[in-house]
Amino acid sequence: MKREKIISVVLAMVAMSGIAGLALITAYIFKEGLPIIVRVGLKDFLLSGDWHPLEGKFGIFSWIVGSLAVTLGAMIIGGLLGLSCAVVLTQFCPRRLVVVLKPAIELLAGIPSVVYGFMGVMILVPWIRQHLGGPGLSVLAAAVVLGIMVLPTVTSISMDALRAVPRSYRDGSIALGATGWQTTHMVILKAAKSGIMASLILGMGRAIGETMAVIMVAGNTLDLPHGILDPVRTLTSNIALEMSYASGDHRKALFATGVVLFVIIMILNSIALAVSSKRARKAGVR
Distance in angstroms (rounded) separating the CA atoms of residues 210 and 202 = 13
Per residue in 132-153, pLDDT (tens digit) is: 988 989 999 999 999 999 999 9
Q: Which residues pair with 219 in a beta bridge?
A: 232
Residue 280 pLDDT > 80? no
Q: Is the pLDDT of residue 1 over 70?
A: no
Q: Cβ-count burial of 68 within 10 angstroms (0-12 exposed, 13-18 middle, 19+ buried)?
A: middle
Does residue 271 register a pLDDT over 90? no
Q: Which of 151, 71, 158 is nearest to 106 (CA)?
A: 151
Q: So what's the pLDDT on residue 278?
A: 64
pLDDT (average), residues 121-139: 92
| Residue 57 phi, psi dihedral angles, 5° rounding | -110, 120
pLDDT in tens, 172-190: 888 888 888 888 888 899 8
Contact 260, 65 (CB under 8 A): no
Average pLDDT of the chain to the nearest whole number: 87
What are the pLDDT digits (tens) for 41-68? 888 898 888 888 888 888 899 989 999 9
Checking if the pLDDT of 283 tops 60, the result is no
Angstrom distance (rounded) from CA 256 to CA 204: 21
User: Who has greater pLDDT, 122 or 171?
Assistant: 122
Predicted confidence at residue 8, as pLDDT, reads 85
Whole-number Å distance between alpha carbons of 200 and 158 = 9
- For residue 13, what are the contacts with CB-CB under 8 A and spacing of at least 6? none
Q: What pLDDT does 134 receive? A: 86
Cα gap 45→51, rounded to integer Å: 9
Strand, coil or helix: 110: helix
Q: How many helices (H) and strands (E) does the chain have?
A: 15, 2
- Whose CA is closest to 147, among 212, 207, 86, 227? 207
Which residues on neighbouring strands pair with residue 57, listed in sequence order?
52
Note whether 216 and 118 are within 8 A (CB). Answer: yes
Q: Is the pLDDT confidence value at 232 over 50?
A: yes
Q: What is the model's pTM?
A: 0.85
| pLDDT computed for residue 121 by the predictor | 93
pLDDT > 70? residue 286:
no
Span 62-285: which CATH code?
Answer: 1.10.3720.10
Q: What is residue 128's predicted lDDT score, i.e. its pLDDT? A: 94
Residue (of 225, 100, 106) closest to 157 by Cα position: 106
pLDDT band with cut points at 50, 70 and 90 for residue 158:
very high
282 — pLDDT class (breaks 50, 70, 90): low
> Would you state the pLDDT for residue 244?
84
The SS3 call for residue 219 is strand
Specify the pLDDT at position 285.
Answer: 46
